[in-house]
Amino acid sequence: MTADLEEKTTRYERMLADALDEAEALPPEGTPLSSMADDCREMAESYLDDGRHFRDADDWVNALASFSYGYGWLDAGVRMGLFSIPEDTELFTM
C-alpha cells in the first residue's frame, strides 16, 4: 500500500505544480476578482509547500491531502473564470 500512496502523492504533486505553471489570472489587476484570483493561487501554492514539507517528513497521507486541497483551490478558480488555461491541457476538465 505504501508504494501506491507514494506514487499517487508524487503524481498529485506534479499535477498541482504543473497546473500552477499553466493557470494565468484573467481579472485586471487591482479589481476584486483579481484579489480573489490571487487568494486562490496563494492557497494552492501554500498547499503545495505544505505537501512538500509533509512528504519530506515521510507523512505521505498529509502530503497527498495537501496536494489535493491545493489542486481544489486552483480548480475552483478555473471554474469561476479567474484563470485561463491552455485548451489542450488535461490538467482540468471543463
Q: What is the CATH number of the domain that holds 71?
A: 1.20.1270.90
The structure's pTM equals 0.89
In a domain, 23, yes or no: yes
Instruction: Give the chain's length.
Output: 94
In a domain, 93, yes or no: no
Would you state the pLDDT for residue 27?
94
- Domain range for 14 is 2-84
Tens of pLDDT, residue by residue, the chain (94 residues): 578 999 999 999 999 999 999 999 999 999 999 999 999 999 999 999 999 999 999 999 999 999 999 999 999 999 899 998 877 776 666 5
What total of structural domains would you count in the chain?
1
**In-domain check, residue 71:** yes
48 assigned to some structural domain: yes
Question: Is the residue at 50 inside a domain?
Answer: yes
HEC per residue, the chain? CHHHHHHHHHHHHHHHHHHHHHCEECCCCCCHHHHHHHHHHHHHHHHHHHHHHHHHCCCHHHHHHHHHHHHHHHHHHHHCCCEECCCCCCCCCC
Output the pLDDT for position 42: 98
Residue 91 belongs to a domain: no
Evaluate whether residue 68 is within a structural domain.
yes
Does 46 map to a domain? yes
